[in-house]
């Protein structure tokens, strides 16, 4: 069965921009202190619970995979773009990176202690978010943790023609309210336990949500 067209657009676009993305976009060290604390707190919770491997989904060039691994976690990355996975493997040859889609993860049920999806779901059309969140829930073990971060907005839809060095892109961005993200996570079986919402200096909004899969079921 063929995959949805939006996945082809995301994969092809990030394959095109991968090398310049790494040059132009900075890693976790440039995050604001509060967002950085959310990621580090997520890692601390996973270590304290000895919960098992953590997957960085939509890992891009592997920056956050490496940050999690540096804390002692068994972290690996998955990205739809082979070009991005190549960048990650070159930068972090000691870590594992795989090509895969968040809509159909090649991972067994209930095997992960944690899932990080950091600014990697906003290209997904809202109608497909329940599928993605259901996959996050499926691969997490009971009691497993999800840290989901991304751009938010009032049902905004953007279709840029160029990005990251002027390369042509065909992906789209879908910015939905943080409240709806929380509702969809709850519908997928998660309990949202912490939530951060921020407005950047440029006026863009984003949210980071920490959620837990129930300890049973």
Predicted model pTM = 0.95
Interatomic CA distance for residues 102 and 104, integer angstroms: 5
Tell me the CA distances in angstroms from 215 to 53, 116, 171, 212, one per residue in order.
17, 19, 37, 8
203 compared with 127, residue with greater pLDDT: 127
pLDDT number for residue 184: 98
Number of domains in the chain: 1
Contact 79, 17 (CB under 8 A): no
pLDDT number for residue 217: 61
Task: Kindly state the tokens that stand for 53.
Answer: 């491997």
Domain range for 85:
5-213
Bridge pairing between strands 205-213 and 140-152: antiparallel
Query: Quick check: 3 pLDDT over 80?
Result: no
pLDDT number for residue 2: 61
Q: What are phi and psi of 172, to 5 degrees?
A: -125, 155
With 0-12 CB in 10 A as exposed, 13-18 as middle and 19+ as buried, what is 4? middle
pLDDT number for residue 212: 97
Q: What are phi and psi of 115, to 5 degrees?
A: -130, 130
> Tens digits of per-residue pLDDT, 14-44?
999 999 999 999 888 888 899 999 999 999 9
Interatomic CA distance for residues 162 and 134, integer angstroms: 31
Place of tokens 């202690």: 113
CATH number for the domain that contains residue 158: 3.40.50.150
What contacts 154, CB < 8 A, 6 or more positions away? 175, 177
pLDDT number for residue 152: 97
> Tens digits of per-residue pLDDT, 83-137?
999 999 999 999 999 999 999 999 999 999 999 999 999 999 999 999 999 999 9
> Tens digits of per-residue pLDDT, 137-179?
999 999 999 999 999 999 999 999 999 989 999 999 999 999 9
Query: Quick check: 1 pLDDT over 80?
Result: no
């Amino acid at each position: 069965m063929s995959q949805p067209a939006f996945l082809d657009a995301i994969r092809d676009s990030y394959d095109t921009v991968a090398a310049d993305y790494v040059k132009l976009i900075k890693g976790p060290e440039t995050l604001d202190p509060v967002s950085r604390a959310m990621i580090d707190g997520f890692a601390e919770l996973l270590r304290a619970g000895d919960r098992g491997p953590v997957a960085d989904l939509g890992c891009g060039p592997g920056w956050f995979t490496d940050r999690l691994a540096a804390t002692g976690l068994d972290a690996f990355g998955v990205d739809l773009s082979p070009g991005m996975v190549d960048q990650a493997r070159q930068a972090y040859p000691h870590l594992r990176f795989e090509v895969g889609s968040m809509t159909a993860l090649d991972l067994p049920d209930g095997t992960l202690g944690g899932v990080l999806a950091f600014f990697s779901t906003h290209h997904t059309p809202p109608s497909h978010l329940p599928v993605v969140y259901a996959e996050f829930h499926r691969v997490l073990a009971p009691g497993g943790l999800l840290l989901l971060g991304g751009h938010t907005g009032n049902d905004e839809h953007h279709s840029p023609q160029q990005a990251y060095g002027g390369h042509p892109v065909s992906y789209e961005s879908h910015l939905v309210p943080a409240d709806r993200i929380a509702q969809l996570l709850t519908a997928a079986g998660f309990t949202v336990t912490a939530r951060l919402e921020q407005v950047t200096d440029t006026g863009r909004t984003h949210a980071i949500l920490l959620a837990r899969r129930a300890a049973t079921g």
